[in-house]
């Protein structure tokens, strides 16, 4: 048998074997190329891709249909809630407006009566002419007052001004007098009283020397209550009225009874805020009520739900049609996309696996490197501070027997504690970068913050004979900012200045107010920065120190200044020095 015949025989056998591994559906024939199906050694791969196709199809359908059904259900639920919320909002708004107006009007009149009892003497209260003038002023200024009367400790009305003849009337059995004696002030329910007309009274007690007292009593016009509650725009089927705590109607109601009759509705439980209760009867009426503080009144509003729910049910048909059409369209798209996706997967499997491994490894190493470099750079300054202050404290303890520098030692210890806390905050902020760190804002004087930062570096300055000039304005407003982040900003810049200047160099610090901001300038006479490097100094990992720098200090400084609502600019010239200008707002950034 020749080689050519052998090859033909193998191809025929492969074709025969392919009958056993042919996909059971049309979509699998689309997924895999024909030459792949004709090789019997790919049975395992074929089964794996068939499973992958089914998994992809079912999972994609699940993911696509789940939000659709969830959103349909949510829409169904939310639309019904919106219908209810419409009623609740209208009732709550009306309750809030009317109840607040009633509380204000009644409290205003109660307060003016209390003011009268404090400002007027007993003789002025008992003087008929003076009391008449007072009533006239009350009517002109506030309105709603019908009459005024003064009742003595025996319950007899000594002085009265108004449209009725009520002087000498005994009020000992009246609730308005009794509650005023006990509580000092009282707002009564609506009642008939001696006038035989509906009204309510406001009474205020005035104590006199000798254990006696008077009660100033004012009658309020009922029209005031009616005008306030009927100013609301209500539908014909809606009802707004006032009842007392005992369930007596204080104003007429369309469907719950007449004035001063027991209301055919239960007194709702007390609530400090307005409440809305649904389905209080078989017709689905919605009730809103609000207790008027320091009064016996309860504001009530009832509304009929109307035909809105019928419209809601009609809209659900459109929603179901949309759901069916969307489901059919999603099925077609998912079948096509799953088939195309699985067909492309095999061609890139090995390449993708290799690429992902390389990318993952490279990304992991880069991340570890960035974090390690950042942590090493940022923790270096707090450790240096701890070392400086600990050395200073050790020197003082060793060479001063009576330890007279107690204040300075305490200050150093406090600086150590703050620096350790700051180092912990920085480490935590950088290593746990996925969690947002909250700043602690407080009023700060930037002159104090800068002086504290410079005190951290005094030992190095003395060792290298670096001259530090403080040019602080006399009147600098405090700013509301975060002390730890400001320390980190200034310490990074000052450290860079120290690194740039030679021994016996100069560093100048300027703090001055500037249009609701505070301007800080840190200037040195060091080596300066070249123009080509000046454009990149705030970029991460850019450093001009070679192996001695990580390139993260100014990048982090730039981010902190922006976070605090400020701006940072730099001006530098080679051989002459560098000037950093930081402008921070006096108020807390939004």
Given the DSSP bridges, would you call strands 517-524 and 479-482 parallel, antiparallel or unpaired?
A: unpaired
- DSSP state for residue 2 in the 8-state scheme: -
388 in any annotated domain: no
pLDDT computed for residue 314 by the predictor: 62
505 in any annotated domain: yes
41 in any annotated domain: no
What CATH number did the domain enclosing 541 receive? 3.30.565.10
pTM for the model: 0.44
The candidate with the shortest Cα–Cα distance to 487, out of 389, 569, 415, is: 415
The candidate with the shortest Cα–Cα distance to 470, out of 512, 500, 441, 429, is: 512
345 in any annotated domain: no
Same domain, yes or no: 298 and 445: no
404 in any annotated domain: no
Q: From first to last of the 590 residues of the chain, give the pLDDT tens digit.
A: 444 444 434 433 443 343 343 434 444 454 444 444 444 334 556 777 788 888 888 888 888 888 888 888 887 777 777 777 777 887 888 888 888 888 999 999 999 999 999 999 889 999 999 999 999 999 999 888 999 999 999 999 999 999 888 888 999 988 889 999 999 999 999 988 777 888 899 999 999 887 789 999 999 988 877 887 776 656 666 788 999 999 999 888 888 888 889 988 889 999 888 898 877 666 667 888 999 988 999 999 888 766 455 556 666 677 778 888 888 888 888 888 888 887 787 767 656 644 654 455 356 545 655 665 566 566 766 666 676 666 666 666 566 666 666 666 656 666 776 676 666 555 554 444 333 345 678 999 999 999 888 887 888 888 899 999 999 998 999 999 988 789 889 988 998 899 899 999 999 999 999 988 999 999 999 989 888 888 878 876 667 766 555 556 787 788 889 889 999 999 998 888 999 999 999 998 87
200 in any annotated domain: yes
Residue 567 burial (CB count, 10 A): 14
340 in any annotated domain: no
User: Cα–Cα distances in Å, from 331 out to 56, 64, 323, 326?
Assistant: 12, 9, 12, 9
pLDDT computed for residue 43 by the predictor: 55
Tell me the two tokens of residue 88. 């609740």
Same domain, yes or no: 268 and 120: yes
Domain of 235 in residue numbering reads as 95-306
The runs of H, that is alpha helices, within 120-148 are 122-126, 128-141
Distance CA 428, CA 416 (A): 18
Which of 246, 276, 306 is the endpoint of a domain? 306
Same domain, yes or no: 302 and 442: no
Given the DSSP bridges, would you call strands 517-524 and 506-513 parallel, antiparallel or unpaired?
A: antiparallel
pLDDT computed for residue 2 by the predictor: 42
**What is the enclosing helix (H) or strand (E) of 431?**
helix 406-431
Count of domains observed in the chain: 2
Name 241's Cβ contacts closer than 8 Å, sequence gap at least 6: 229, 249, 250, 251, 252, 253, 254, 256, 263, 300
DSSP 257-292: --TTSBPSSPPPPP-SS-EEE---STT--EEEEEE-
What CATH number did the domain enclosing 227 receive? 3.30.450.20
460 in any annotated domain: yes
Instruction: Check if the beta carbon of residue 258 is closer than 8 Å to that of residue 267.
Output: no
Which of 282, 306, 330 is the endpoint of a domain? 306
Which of 284, 306, 328 is the endpoint of a domain? 306
The three-state secondary structure class of 160 is strand
């Amino acid at each position: 048998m020749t080689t050519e015949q052998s090859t033909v025989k193998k191809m025929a056998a492969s074709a025969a074997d392919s009958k056993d591994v042919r996909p059971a559906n049309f979509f699998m024939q689309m997924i895999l190329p024909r030459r792949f199906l004709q090789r019997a050694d790919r049975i395992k791969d074929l089964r794996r891709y068939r499973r992958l196709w089914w998994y992809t199809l079912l999972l994609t359908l699940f993911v696509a249909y789940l939000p659709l059904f969830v959103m349909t259900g949510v829409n169904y639920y939310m639309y019904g809630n919106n219908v209810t919320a419409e009623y609740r909002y209208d009732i709550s708004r009306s309750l809030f407006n009317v109840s607040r107006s009633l509380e204000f009007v009644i409290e205003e009149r109660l307060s003016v009566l209390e003011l009268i009892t404090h400002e007027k003497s007993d003789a002025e209260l008992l003087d008929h002419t003076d009391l008449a003038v007072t009533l006239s002023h009350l009517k002109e200024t506030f309105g709603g007052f019908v009459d005024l009367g003064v009742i003595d400790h025996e319950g007899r009305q000594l002085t009265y001004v108004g449209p009725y003849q009520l002087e000498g009337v005994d009020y000992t059995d009246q609730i308005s007098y009794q509650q005023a004696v006990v509580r000092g002030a009282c707002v009564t329910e609506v009642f008939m009283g001696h006038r035989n007309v509906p009204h309510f009274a406001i009474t205020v007690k005035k104590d006199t020397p000798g254990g006696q007292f008077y009660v100033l009593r004012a009658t309020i016009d009922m029209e005031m209550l009616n005008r306030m509650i009927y100013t609301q725009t209500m539908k014909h089927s809606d009802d707004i009225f006032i009842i007392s705590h005992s369930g007596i109607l204080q104003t007429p109601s369309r469907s719950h009874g007449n004035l001063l009759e027991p209301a055919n509705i239960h007194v709702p439980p007390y609530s400090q805020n307005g409440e809305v209760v649904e389905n209080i009867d078989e017709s689905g009426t919605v009730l809103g009520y609000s207790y008027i503080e320091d009064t016996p009144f309860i504001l009530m509003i009832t509304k009929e739900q109307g035909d809105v729910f019928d419209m809601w049910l009609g809209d659900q048909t459109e929603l179901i049609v949309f759901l069916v059409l969307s489901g059919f369209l999603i099925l077609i798209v998912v079948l096509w996309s799953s088939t195309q996706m699985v067909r492309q997967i095999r061609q890139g499997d090995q390449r993708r696996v290799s690429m992902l491994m390389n990318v993952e490894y490279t990304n992991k190493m880069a991340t570890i490197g960035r974090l390690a470099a950042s942590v090493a750079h940022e923790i270096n300054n707090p450790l240096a501070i701890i070392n400086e202050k600990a050395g200073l404290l050790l020197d003082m303890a060793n060479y001063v027997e009576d330890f007279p520098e107690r204040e300075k030692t305490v200050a150093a210890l406090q600086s150590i504690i703050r620096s350790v806390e700051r180092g912990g905050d920085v480490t935590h902020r950088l290593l746990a970068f996925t969690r947002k760190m909250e700043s602690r804002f407080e009023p700060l004087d930037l002159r104090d913050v800068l002086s504290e930062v410079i005190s951290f570096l005094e030992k190095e300055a003395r060792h290298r004979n670096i001259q530090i000039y403080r040019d602080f304005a006399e009147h600098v407003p405090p700013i509301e900012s975060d002390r730890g982040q400001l320390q980190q900003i200034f310490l990074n810049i000052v450290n860079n200045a120290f690194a740039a200047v030679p021994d016996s160099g100069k560093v100048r610090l300027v703090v001055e107010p500037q249009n609701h901001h505070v301007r800080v300038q840190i200037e040195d006479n060091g080596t300066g920065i070249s123009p080509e490097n000046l454009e990149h100094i705030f970029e991460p990992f850019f450093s001009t120190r070679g192996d001695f720098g990580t390139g993260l200090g100014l990048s982090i400084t730039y981010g902190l200044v922006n976070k605090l609502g400020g701006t940072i600019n730099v001006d530098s010239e080679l051989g002459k020095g560098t000037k950093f200008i930081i402008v921070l707002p006096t108020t807390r950034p939004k």
